[in-house]
Structure formats: structure tokens, C-alpha cells
Structure 1
Amino acid sequence: MTTDLQKLHTIWQESRAFHNTDFPRIGFDELTNAIVSVGPFYFYVIDFYDMSLSHVSPAIEYIHGLDPEKVTFNEVLNTIHPDDVSFVADAEAFITKFFRERISREKLLSYKMNYIFRSRMANGEYVLLNHQAILLSLDDDGRSGKSLNIHTRIDHLSNLNTRKISLIGLNGEASYMNMSLEEVIKPLPYFSKREKQILKLVSQGLSSNEISEKLFIAAATVKKHRQNILEKTDCKNITQLINECTRQGLI
């Protein structure tokens, strides 16, 4: 096993559940149908407790030449281009850190992870695959239980790996798009109850005077709160503030 593949195993070892976990009540078909395919794809469920695979799509044989009845997770990992294994390991480490520091445990099952890498096809050719993953279960300590992984061939759309990571919110959760591995994961700023009220009203397009009338406070107080919010988020103007707060899931 290469050093980078070993790094991947170490990341999953540290974040995986310590005991077997069950599927949530949401139906498996409902999950797979929520993913829009833009090319040939296959899927499988990985159990991080023992790294076993289940629900393996028959299409994995057409795409990778792997037997869906016997394929192992290591065989899937070994299809990753040697030059992209390090990126995949770093992307998984980034996602693990982001989830631990930014997303509360009860929301972890409402996110789809996404990035791309080169992968070896059945004919030996390497092409771009779009990796999507949704956690299906967690243990009592919030560690990964099972995950639905979907790999879609997208070389007809692009031959460039952007090396970006997106965490797409489901069920109304905020999305975090096109993040780079070098991006600093800033801690969420703390907002008072009043600041949260004003932030929400600002995002709805209300002026300071309108917010003042709605909350029965002085316009000068609203302006002071707005300035405090800008400083806490390191934003220079309201447009940047709304974009940043939306990206961070604050509104």
C-alpha cells in the first residue's frame, strides 16, 4: 500500500464508527434519486466500521472492470490515479476537519461531499470522475458509520481537476462551495440574539430605518449592530456580508 493510500486509511480509521451502525429510516432509493447524473456512474455503500462494501452497482464492472459481487474497497481505491491519491487524502482530511469544527452532529447526514479526481477505467485509460458521498449513519459519538458513494464519469465535460471541495447542503442546509485545501477554516463568529435578528432582516433587504421600526429600537442602535456584525465577519460592505454569512450558513 502506498504512503498516500495509507494516509487515507488513517483518516478514515480516526473518524469511523467503533461499532456497526444501521441505515437511517430514509429510503435508499430516495437518496440515490436525489443525485442527478451527468454521465455513466456507479455507486456503493461503504461501512467504515470494517471497510466492507454493500449495495454495489453493477455498473462498476462496466466502468472499472471490477466484479460487483467481490469488489473490495482497496480495489476501488487502487483505481485512483497515483498522482491524485494525495489530493484525495487531503480532501478527506479537510472534510473531516470542516465537519468537526463547523457542522453540528445533528446536521452531518444533511450534506453531500463533492470533489473530482482521475480514475482508471476498465480499458486502462484514466479519466475524471466526480465523487459524491452522503453519510447514511453515525455512531453515538458522531463518527462515520456508513456512506453512500457515487462516482460519475465527467471527462466529456472537463479534463481539468479543479482541486476544489464542495459540501452541498440538503434539506435546506447551507452549502459551502468550491473550497480549496489551503482555505483557512475560520471559527464561526458569535452573534447576540439581537445581532442575529438584524442580520436576518438585513439579508431580507430592509434598511436601518425599517429594521428600527420593526424591532422598536433606535436607528442609531441598528447601525451600531450592523457595524459590529461587519467587524465580526471581516466584511467591508453589506453585499460581502450577506454572501459570506450565506456561505457560512449563518443566514
Structure 2
Amino acid sequence: MEIIEKLNSRLLDKTAEKCQLDLEVYKQRALVYTQMEGAISVLSDMQADKSYVYKSKAALELGLNMEESSTVIDSIWEEEIIKKIHPDDRLKKYIHELRFHELMDSLDAEVRADYSVLSKIRMKDKDNEYRLVKHRMFYMYSPNNGKLRFALCLYNIALDQTLPSVSDFMIINTTKGEVIVKDKLDYQNILSRRELEVLKYVGEGYASKQIAGLLSISINTVSRHRQNILEKLKVKNSVQAFKDSFY
């Protein structure tokens, strides 16, 4: 199963018992973050499979469409923003979000609000040059069915623009001010040369058929490489690793 399909299967809430949290309250919170922090805020509704995007003037610096300061999209994935992320960081972002979801699932409901994602990612700006952007993500769970209802993502242009060789992806306990997991995946030491090539094209959004043509290999071979990539990264970053770090 591909990483996006796996994330969708974990994140989207298809249960019959609906969450009663007030959507308008959380939309207002996302808007306030945008206005106060000069951020781009994305509130994703896992129950409706929709996202509400709010943009400050920072969006202009990143070359994002500012015809409307707020938009609604029929997906939990903010494609306009995601396509600007460096291909390596984009895939790492997906993998890290999957790890975060697995960690949250392993925790008691009353402590989940203590945790969030904090990362620095490379995004193309209005001049088509990469700039560092601080990315934060928070989960909000339903008190009715216990399922994930909202994910709030915040994007701010980072103060320190010294580009690292490997981007930071962290899970933090905001209550204690502690880093729970500091993830700097070095794919060079995990994946084979061919898997790295496949990973590059996956990160750039190519389908398996296109990758097969680019690398002159069969679609079945591409599928095998993609499965190997996920298996290797999952072995490297299992839920047990979370528990070892947390406990």
C-alpha cells in the first residue's frame, strides 16, 4: 500500500458515530493563528475529507495564490502547498505524519493534546528558490467516537535560513518542553541506489508507470522497490521506537 493510501486509511474517519465538535470553532482558531503569527494555516477535517486553508502575506513570499485569503478544498491534503515542498522533505513529511499518528494511537486520550509535530522543511518561494519553512501540526480527537477529527498544520517562514543537509522532523511534548523523537533520516544508509532513484521520482509525484519508463524497468519492479522502501523505513522507524524513546 502506498504511503498516501496508508495515511488516508489511518486518518480519515469513516465510522457511523459522528463527531459533534463544532467545526466553526476550529475554523476560527485556524484563522486566528494565521492573523496573529503571519502563518499559513490548514485545518483538515478527517470526517468530511475537507481542508480549510487560511493565508497571511507569507503566502506571497512562497508564491502561493492569494486571490482568496481563505479557501476550502475537497481533500485533507493541501496540494498547492505540498507541491512546493522539496521532494525529499515531502516524502519524509508523509512518513513522519504516519509515525506521529501511530504514536498518538498508542497514548491515552487524556495526554494526546500534549504532543505535536515540529519540523523544518524546504519549500520553493516566489522566485522558485528553496527556503526553510517551520511546520507545526496538532491533532484534535473526537470526544464522541475517540477518532481523529481535525489536524491543524501551520507554516511559517523560518527565521534561520541556513539550509541543513538533512531537514529536521521532531515530535515534541509541548507541556514539558521535551523532544520525544528527533528524526533525521539518512536514506543513503538505508536504501539501495535503485531504491533512492525510485524514491526521488516518487517524491516528485511520478506514478509507477512513469517511473518504470524513466528507469527502463517493469512496473512490477517499481512496485517491489516501493514496497521495499516502505518496509525498510518502517523497520527503521517502528512504533516500538516511539515507545523506547517515550518510556
Q: TM-score, normalised by structure 1?
A: 0.57
Q: Give the superposition deviation at 1:145.
A: 1.0
What amino acid sits opposite 1:41 in the alignment?
Answer: A
Q: TM-score, normalised by structure 2?
A: 0.58
What amino acid sits opposite 1:134 in the alignment?
Answer: F
Q: Give the superposition deviation at 1:150.
A: 0.8
Q: Give the superposition deviation at 1:56.
A: 0.9
What amino acid sits opposite 1:17 in the alignment?
Answer: D
Contact persistence 2:41–2:55 (CA under 8 A): yes
Contact persistence 1:12–1:48 (CA under 8 A): no
Among residues 89, 94, 100, which one is paired with 1:95 in the alignment?
100
Contact persistence 1:113–1:166 (CA under 8 A): yes
Among residues 49, 55, 58, which one is paired with 2:56 in the alignment?
58
Supply the distance in 1 between the matched residues of 2:158 and 2:139 (Cα, whole angstroms): 23
Q: Give the superposition deviation at 1:81.
A: 2.0
CA RMSD of aligned residues (A): 3.8
Q: Give the superposition deviation at 1:154.
A: 2.0
Among residues 150, 157, 181, which one is paired with 2:154 in the alignment?
150
1:186 aligns with 2:184: no
Contact persistence 1:8–1:92 (CA under 8 A): no
Aligned to 1:237: none
Runs (5+) with no aligned partner, structure 2: 186-235
Matched residues, number: 184
Supply the distance in 1 between the matched residues of 2:7 and 2:152 (Cα, whole angstroms): 18
User: Which string of whole-angstrom CA distances, capped at 9 and with x for unpartnered residues, describes residues 16-55 of structure 1?
Assistant: 33345525989838x849xx96xx6322312122342326
What amino acid sits opposite 1:82 in the alignment?
Answer: P
1:14 aligns with 2:68: no
Supply the distance in 2 between the matched residues of 1:174 and 1:61 (Cα, whole angstroms): 30
In structure 2, the CA distance between the partners of 1:162 and 1:21, relative to structure 1 (3 Å rule), is farther
Query: Percent same amino acid among aligned pairs?
Result: 11
In structure 2, the CA distance between the partners of 1:167 and 1:83, relative to structure 1 (3 Å rule), is closer
Supply the distance in 2 between the matched residues of 1:157 and 1:80 (Cα, whole angstroms): 15
In structure 2, the CA distance between the partners of 1:11 and 1:184, relative to structure 1 (3 Å rule), is closer
After the TM superposition, which residues 1-251 of structure 1 pair with which residues of structure 2 at under 5 Å, given as runs? Answer: 7-8=3-4, 10-18=6-14, 19=18, 22-23=21-22, 28=29, 32=33, 41-54=39-52, 56-59=54-57, 61-62=59-60, 63-67=62-66, 68-70=69-71, 72=73, 73-101=78-106, 103-138=107-142, 140-154=144-158, 156-160=160-164, 162-172=166-176, 175-180=179-184, 182-186=236-240, 248=246
In structure 2, the CA distance between the partners of 1:149 and 1:141, relative to structure 1 (3 Å rule), is same
Supply the distance in 2 between the matched residues of 1:161 and 1:41 (Cα, whole angstroms): 25
Rg larger for: 1
In structure 2, the CA distance between the partners of 1:130 and 1:51, relative to structure 1 (3 Å rule), is farther
Q: Give the superposition deviation at 1:156.
A: 3.4
In structure 2, the CA distance between the partners of 1:60 and 1:17, relative to structure 1 (3 Å rule), is farther
Runs (4 or more) in structure 1 with deviation over 6 Å come to 24-27
Supply the distance in 2 between the matched residues of 1:143 and 1:16 (Cα, whole angstroms): 9
Contact persistence 1:117–1:129 (CA under 8 A): yes
Supply the distance in 1 between the matched residues of 2:20 and 2:129 (Cα, whole angstroms): 37
Q: Give the superposition deviation at 1:158.
A: 2.4
What amino acid sits opposite 1:159 in the alignment?
Answer: L
Supply the distance in 1 between the matched residues of 2:161 and 2:51 (Cα, whole angstroms): 29
Supply the distance in 2 between the matched residues of 1:50 and 1:165 (Cα, whole angstroms): 28
What amino acid sits opposite 2:173 in the alignment?
Answer: G
